[in-house]
Structure 1
Amino acid sequence: MNVLTIASFFFFTGIVAIISWRKVRRQKTDTLNGLFLANRSLGFLFVGGGLLFTNINTATIIGENELTYTNNMTVMAWGVTSVFAMLLVSEFIMPIYLRTGISTTPDYLEARYDRTTKKIVSVIFLVSYIINLLPTVLYSGAVAFNGLFHFSERFRTSYWTTIWILIWVMGAIGCLYSILGGLKAIAVSDTLLGLGLFAGGLALPFLGLKYLGDGDAAQGLHILLSSDTSHLNSIGTAADPIPFSTLFTGMLLVNLYYWGTEQYIVQQVLASKDLVSCQKGIAVAALGKLISPLLLNVPGLIAVHLFRHLPNATEAFPKMISLVSPPFISGYIAAIIFGAAFTTFNAGLNSSSTLFILNIYKPWLEKKGQQPPEAALIRTAKRFEIAVCLVAMCIAPFIIFAKKGFYTYIQTVNGFFNVPVFTILFIGFVTKKVPPIAAKTGLIFFITAYASLQLLVDTQIHFLHLLFILFILTSALMLAIGRLYPMATPYRQKVNNLVDIQPWKHRHVYAVILLILMLLLFLIFSRAGLAR
C-alpha cells in the first residue's frame, strides 16, 4: 500500500469535505424542508451534479465495467439511453411535480388516487432502498477499495472478512455524513465529485492505454481497436446481457421510472429553486451521462487486454486502476470512488427518512391527534436513518453470492419495484377517471406476476421484455377497471407551486444536441464503427 496513494486519497477527500462543510454550515437543517429539500434553493449546477453523481455510484462503476469486461459495450445502453428518458422527464413530468409543490413522489399518487396508494408506494420505495440500493452501493464500494488498496492481502484476512469490515466502516461514515449535513451537503459534494469524475474519466483511459502500449498511448489504442473488437460492440444480440431490442421496451420504462419517479433522484430536482434550474440541471446531468462511458466502460475494455482470466470479474475496474495508475492518481481515483459510494448511499438514506417521516410516521401521529414539533420529527428521522443503515450493512456482504453478474443482479431485483410504480404513475398522468382501486390492483398484479416469472417459471424471455409485457397488461387492467368503475369526479390537478415554474426557453435546442450525441455514441460503438 503506497504512502503517496494514501496521502492523495485523504487530500482529495478532505478538500471535498471541507468545501461541503463551508457551503452548508450556514444552511439550516433544523427544519424538515432544510434537511430533506435544502429549502428548495439549489441552482442548476448543484441539481445537475446531484443527479449525475447520485446516479453514478460504485455499483454503476464496478458493475458496468464488469459486464464490459465479461461481455461487451452493450451495457453502455443503460446510461446512454437514459438521456432520452431524462429529456422526457424534464419536459413533461418535472413541471407537474413543481407545479403541485410535492415533497415526495408518492405525494402525487395521493393527490391522483388516495392516501392508501401513497402509503403502499412509500413502503415499496423503502423496501427497495433497504434490500437493494443501499446494500449494493456498500458492497461495490467495499470491492473497489479492497481492489485498490489490497486490504485482504496486506492484513492477511479472508476476502469475506475484509468485505464485511469495509462495508461497516463505509456505512458508519456515510450515515454520519447524511445525518449531519442533509440534502444540501449531499448536493454540494455531488457537484464537486462530478467535476472530479470528468477529470478522472479523461485521465484513467489515457493511463490504461499508455500501460497497454508499454508507455505509448497511441500503441495501446491500436491494440484496443485491432484485437478483441467484439467487445467494442454496443448493439446487443439475443445472446448479450442487453439485447438491442430491450432499449425500446423495458429499458425505456426503467429509465423513465428512475429519472421521473425514483425518490432519491427526484428529491434532487424537487430542491430546485425554479423550473429553469431544474431543466438546466437535467441537461447538465444528461451531458455527463454521455461522457460517463469513459469511466464506466472504457476501463473494462482495457481490462480485457490486461487480465485474461479474473476469478472475480467484479474486480476488473479496481485492479486496473491499481495496475496502471501512478500512486498519486490512484489515490485521486480512490477518492472519487469513495465519494461515489457515499453520495448515492447518503441520498438513499436521506430519501428513506423523507419517505418514512412525511408519508408514514407524521400522518400516523396526526391520525392519533398528535401534532409533533419539527425538532422531534427530525430526531426520529435521524434515528430511522441509523436503523436503515444497520439493516443495509447486514445485507450487503451477501451480494457476493449473486449469480449472472453483479450489475445484472441489481437491475433484475429492481424490476420488483420500479416499473410497477411507474405504471400506476403513468396511468395517473394520462387519465382522469381511473380509480384508486385500479392502482392497488395494478401494483399487486404486476409484482406478483413478475415474481412468479422470475422465481417460479423460466420463460426464456429477457427480464426487460418481461417488464414491458407486464406494463402493457397492467395498464390494460387498470384502464378496464377505470372503464367499469370510473371515479365519480374526474381528477383535477391542484396548483400549489412553491417556486417559479416558467420553463427554460432554450431547452429544446439542447435536447436536440444531446439526442444527436446519444445516437453518435451508438454508431461509434457498433459494427459500422469501431467494432467492425
Structure 2
Amino acid sequence: MNWIILTSFLFFTGIVGLLSWYKSRKNKIKTLNGFFFADRSLGFLLVGGGLLFTNINTATIIGENELAYTHNMSVMAWGMTSVLAMLLVSEFLMPMYLKLGISTTPDYLTARYGPGIGKLVSCIFLVSYIINLLPSVLYSGAVAFNGLFHFGDVWKTDYWTTIWILIWIMGTIGCLYSLLGGLKAISTSDTLLGFGIFAGGLLLPFFGLRYLGQGSIMQGLHILLNNHREHLNSIGTAADPIPFSTLFTGMLLVNLYYWGTEQYIVQQLLASRDLKSSQKGIAVACLGKLISPLLLNLPGLIAVHIFTHLDNTAEVFPKLDSLVSPPFIAGYIAAIIFGAALTTFNAGLNSSSTLFILNIYKPWAEKNGRISNERHMVRAARLFEIMICLLAMFIAPFIIFVKNGFYTYVQMVNGFFNVPIFTIMFIGLVTKRVPAKAASIGLAFFITTYALTQTVFDLHIHFLHILATLFVITCGLMLLIGKFYPMAQPYGLQINTLVDIKPWKSRHIYSCILLLLMVLMFILFSPLVLAK
C-alpha cells in the first residue's frame, strides 16, 4: 500500500466531511421536513451539485470507464442524453411538482390514481433501491478502493473476502453520515465533491496522457487520437452495449424516468427554495454532464493504450489512477471516488426512508390511531435506514458474479422498475379519466413481460428497445381500459404551493445552448471527426 496515497485520501476526505458538518451544523434535525428536505431551503448551486454528484457515483465512474475500455465511447450516451431529459423535466414536471407541494413522486400517483397505487409504487422504489441501487454503489466503491490500495495484499485476504470487508466499511460510514446529517449535509458534500470532480476530471487525463506519451502530453494525445480510433466512436452499432438507435427509444424513456421520477433525484429538486433555483440547478447539472466524459470515459480510452489485458475490467479506472497519477493526486482522486460512493448511497438511504415514512408508515399509523410526533417519525426513519443499509451490504458482494459488464447489468435490472413507473406516470399526466385499475394492470403487465424477456425468452433485441416497445403496448392497454372503465370524475390538480413557483426567465436561452453542446459532443466522437 502506498501510504502517501492513503494520507492524501484521508486528508481530502476529512476536508469534505469537516466543511459539510460546518455548513449543516445549525440545521437541527427535529422534523421530517428538515431531515428529508433540508427545510426546502437549497439554492441552485446546492441543487445542481446534489443532482450531479448523486448521479455520478462509483457505479457510473467504474462502469462507464470499463465500457469505454472494452468497447467504445457509445456509453457516453447515458450522460449526454440526460441533458435533454433534464431540460424537459425542468420545463414541464418541476413546475407541476412544486405547485402540488408533493414530498415524493408517489404522492403525485396517489393524487392521480389513489392511495393503493401510491403505496405500490413506493414499494417498487424500495425494492429497486435495496436490491440494485444501494448494493451496486457499495460494490463499485469496493472494487475501486481495492484497485487503488490493494487491500487484499495488505490484509492477506482473497478477492471475495476483501470486497466483503470494504463493502461493510463503506456501508457503515455512509449510514452514519446519512443518519447524522440528513439531506442538508448530503447536498453540501455533493456540491463540494462536484467541484472536486471537475478538478479530478482534468487531473487524471492530464497524468494519463503524460504517461502514455512518456512525459509528453501532446505525444500522448497524438497516440490517443490516432491509435485504436474505433474506441473514439460514440455511434454504437448492434454489437456495442449502447446501439445508437436506442437513444431514441428506451434510453430516452429511462432518462426521463430517472430525472423526473426517481425519488432520490427528485428529492434534491423538491428541497429547492423555489422553482427558479430548481431550474437553475438543473442547468448547472446539465453543464456538469457535458463535461463529465473527462472523468467517466477518457480514462478508459487512455487505458486502452496502456493495459493490453485485465482479468477484471471493472478495475480499469483505479488501476490507471494508481499507475499514472503522483501519489498525492491518486489519493485526491480516491477521495472523489469515496465521496461519489457515499453521496449516492446516502441519498438512496435518505430517499428510501422518505418513501417508507411518508407513504407507508405514516398513513398506517394515522389509520390505526397511532399518530406520532415529528421526533418519533425521524427516529423511525433512522431505524429504517439502518435496516435497509444492512440488507444492501449483504446483497452487494454477489454482484461480482454478473456477466456482460457491471454497468450494463445495473441498467438492465433498473428496467424492471424505471420505465414501468414512468409509463403510469406518463398516462396520468396526459389523461384525466384513466383509472387506478389501468395503472395496476399496466404495472403488472410491464414488469412481468420484461422479466420474461430478460430471464426466459431471449429475443435477441436490446433491452432498451424492449423497454420502448413495452412502453407503447402498456400505454395502449391503459388507454383501452380507460376507454371502457373511465373514472367517474376527471382528475384535477390540487394546488398546494409551498415555495415560489415563478420560473427562471433565461432558461430557454441556456437550454438551447446546452442542447447544441450535446449534439456537438456526439459529432465530435463520431466517424465524422475523431473516429474517422
> Please, which runs of 5 or more residues in structure 1 have no aligned partner?
none
> Which amino acid in structure 2 is aligned with residue 274 of structure 1?
D
**Counterpart in 2 of 1:524?**
524
**Counterpart in 2 of 1:429?**
429
Match of 1:517, SS state, is helix
Partners of 2:445 and 2:460 lie apart in 1 by 21
> Which amino acid in structure 1 is aligned with residue 278 of structure 2?
C
> Which amino acid in structure 1 is aligned with residue 515 of structure 2?
L
Partners of 1:253 and 1:239 lie apart in 2 by 22
Partners of 2:431 and 2:477 lie apart in 1 by 14
Question: What are the residue-to-residue correspondences of 1:115-134 with 2, within 5 Å?
Answer: 115-134=115-134
**Counterpart in 1 of 2:201?**
201
Partners of 1:389 and 1:451 lie apart in 2 by 26
Deviation at 1:66, TM superposition (A): 0.4
**Counterpart in 2 of 1:288?**
288
**Counterpart in 1 of 2:267?**
267
Would you say 1:276 and 2:276 are equivalent positions?
yes
> Which amino acid in structure 1 is aligned with residue 520 of structure 2?
L
Would you say 1:331 and 2:331 are equivalent positions?
yes
Match of 1:81, SS state, is helix
**Counterpart in 1 of 2:25?**
25
* Deviations 1:385-407 (CA, angstroms, capped at 9, x unpaired): 00000000000000000011100
* Deviations 1:428-485 (CA, angstroms, capped at 9, x unpaired): 1111111111111100000000001111100001000000000000000000111111
Partners of 1:340 and 1:135 lie apart in 2 by 14
> Which amino acid in structure 2 is aligned with residue 166 of structure 1?
L
Deviation at 1:329, TM superposition (A): 0.1
Partners of 1:216 and 1:150 lie apart in 2 by 29
Match of 2:84, SS state, is helix
**Counterpart in 1 of 2:95?**
95
Deviation at 1:116, TM superposition (A): 0.2
**Counterpart in 2 of 1:170?**
170
Deviation at 1:155, TM superposition (A): 2.2
**Counterpart in 1 of 2:223?**
223
Match of 1:498, SS state, is coil
Question: What are the residue-to-residue correspondences of 1:381-530 with 2, within 5 Å?
Answer: 381-530=381-530
**Counterpart in 2 of 1:179?**
179
**Counterpart in 1 of 2:159?**
159
Partners of 1:512 and 1:374 lie apart in 2 by 44
Segments ≥4 residues shifted beyond 3 Å: none
Question: What are the residue-to-residue correspondences of 1:1-400 with 2, within 5 Å?
Answer: 1-400=1-400
Comparing 98-107 and 361-370, the one that deviates more = 361-370
* Deviations 1:310-349 (CA, angstroms, capped at 9, x unpaired): 0100000000000000000001000000000000000000
Deviation at 1:6, TM superposition (A): 1.4
Partners of 2:476 and 2:3 lie apart in 1 by 61
Partners of 2:507 and 2:443 lie apart in 1 by 34
> Which amino acid in structure 1 is aligned with residue 155 of structure 2?
F
> Which amino acid in structure 1 is aligned with residue 263 of structure 2?
Q
* Deviations 1:276-298 (CA, angstroms, capped at 9, x unpaired): 00000000000000000000000
Partners of 1:243 and 1:454 lie apart in 2 by 18
> Which amino acid in structure 2 is aligned with residue 351 of structure 1?
S
Deviation at 1:13, TM superposition (A): 0.6
* Deviations 1:258-281 (CA, angstroms, capped at 9, x unpaired): 000000000000000000000000
Deviation at 1:3, TM superposition (A): 2.1
Partners of 1:475 and 1:455 lie apart in 2 by 23
Deviation at 1:7, TM superposition (A): 1.5
> Which amino acid in structure 2 is aligned with residue 434 of structure 1?
V
Match of 1:495, SS state, is coil
> Which amino acid in structure 2 is aligned with residue 146 of structure 1?
N
Deviation at 1:154, TM superposition (A): 2.2
> Which amino acid in structure 2 is aligned with residue 78 of structure 1?
W
> Please, which runs of 5 or more residues in structure 2 have no aligned partner?
none
Deviation at 1:373, TM superposition (A): 1.1
Deviation at 1:4, TM superposition (A): 1.7
* Deviations 1:339-382 (CA, angstroms, capped at 9, x unpaired): 00000000000000000000001111111122111111111110
Partners of 1:159 and 1:177 lie apart in 2 by 27
Q: Identity percentage over the alignment?
A: 73
Deviation at 1:28, TM superposition (A): 2.2
Deviation at 1:156, TM superposition (A): 1.8
Partners of 2:64 and 2:429 lie apart in 1 by 33
Deviation at 1:2, TM superposition (A): 2.0
Match of 2:361, SS state, is helix
Partners of 1:523 and 1:181 lie apart in 2 by 43
* TM-score normalised by length of structure 1: 1.00
Aligned pairs, number:
532
* Deviations 1:473-521 (CA, angstroms, capped at 9, x unpaired): 0000000111111111100001101000000000000000000000010
